[in-house]
Structure formats: C-alpha cells, structure tokens
A and B are shown apart, each in its own frame.
Chain A
Amino acid sequence: DIQMTQSPASLSASLGETVSIECLASEGISNDLAWYQKKSGKSPHLLIYTTSRLQDGVPSRFSGSGSGTRYSLKISGMQPEDEADYFCQQSYKYPLTFGSGTKLEIK
C-alpha cells in the first residue's frame, strides 16, 4: 500500500498569509495526487486533482505542485473561509490512501 505522510498536522495563519501543506508518498505516484478541504460538520470538497488541476469553482488562491513522491498545496492569501482540515489522496492505484490531514486555523 502507498503511505501518504502529510505535514504539518496543524497550522495557524494570519489573514492574507500564504500557507503550504505537504504530502510525501512512500513511492512514486506519477502526479496522481488530489487535495480535499473539509470543514467541520460538512462533507469533503475536491480542490485539486492530478497535482495541479483546479476543480471547477475553486478559488485561484489555491494551487498545487509536485512530482514523484513530493507534493504540496499552497493557499496564497489566507481567507476566513479557508479555515478547515485539508487532506491529500493518492489516486495512482488501489488501495486508495489519504494523508492524515492538516488542521488550518486563523491566527
């Protein structure tokens, strides 16, 4: 199984600040990496797929990058509505696996 190591586990940022979250796969996943946002009491929401492709309707302040085993999500200019948990997921092969999550809070 592919292990996804996500960091940091928690993060606080000021409004307008740029933040980054990283995921490290235990083997190469050929850019098959997705990012999800999950707000408390809500269902998860797909933000980015195939490393860097923005899902329809997702603000452009979200971006993704990476290759091989290292991937990252960047939020350029933290907004109040970005306070949430974020998860990466490898979509390379079964069994599908998620990172452990990053809790992003407003400082």
Chain B
Amino acid sequence: VQLVESGGGLVQPGRSLKLSCAASGFTFTDYYMAWVRQAPKKGLEWVATISTRGTTTYYPDSVRGRFTISRDYAKSSLYLQMNSLKSEDTATYYCARHGQRINFDNWGQGVMVTVSS
C-alpha cells in the first residue's frame, strides 16, 4: 500500500488549496478513504471521509462547508479541496485508508499546509 500526497504549501487566509493523494498497491475502489491532519504541536484531527463509491462524505463541523473530499477512480486518487482557509487550518495533512472498522490502517507521508498572510 502506498499513499503519496501532494499540493501543500503556503496560502493566504481566505484563499483555496487542493490536495491530492495518489494511491497504489491495493484496490482503490474497495476502500473508504480519508484525510486526517495534525496542527503543529497538536494532536490528530479527522478532516473528511468518502465512501467507496464516492456517494457519501463525512466531515467534522470544523471544516464542513469549506472542505470537499472527492476521488477519481481512473487515477486512483483522492482529493481535498480546501476553501476559505483559516490560520487554524495550518497543519500536516495525511491521506489515509480506512480499515475494517472506521479506523485508519494506512497513511501517507503527509503534506504541510500553512495558512498565513
């Protein structure tokens, strides 16, 4: 299993950014996928989940309405569109595969997003 994130960087408050995650080594269509983040010196925070067919998505209140998770089966890729970014969205973002239960059994290496003027 390999998950490789890209698209991070420095962005101004209120602007948008889109993260990508290239998945390989497993049948992408068989798994729910997710994004989890960790702000500097903070704990882990779940950000979004998408179902196997992409028809159902889940978000915590902290990002609902601003972030959108999506997936492309042809490219075996996962995405996170982040709009109206805030300084508190500054974190390392991890792409993760959901396991048998809604835990996270494989993680990418992470990509840093810094929201600052």
Contacts and interface: CB of A to CB of B under 8 A. Distances in A.
Contact of A44 (B59, B94, B99, B100): B94
Contacts of A43: 94, 107-110
Interface string A12-33: 0000000000000000000010
A23 B46 CA distance: 17
Contacts of A94: 49, 58, 102
Residue of A44, A100, A101 with most chain B CB atoms under a 10 A cut-off: A44
Which secondary structure characterizes the binding site on chain A? loop
B43 interface: yes
Given A34-B101, A49-B101, A89-B103, A99 B108 contact: no
Contacts, number: 63
Contacts of A96: 46, 49, 60, 102
Contact of B101 (A32, A45, A87, A97): A32
Contacts of B106: 46
Nearest to B46: A96
B43 A87 contact: yes
B104 interface: yes
B45 interface: yes
6 contacts: A43-B94, A43-B107, A43-B108, A50-B101, A95-B46, A95-B60
In the A-B complex, the 4 residue pairs with the smallest Cβ-Cβ separation, listed nearest first, are A34-B103, A43-B107, A96-B46, A95-B60
Given A43-B108, A55-B105, A87-B44, 6 more contacts: A32-B102, A36-B104, A44-B104, A49-B105, A94-B49, A98-B44
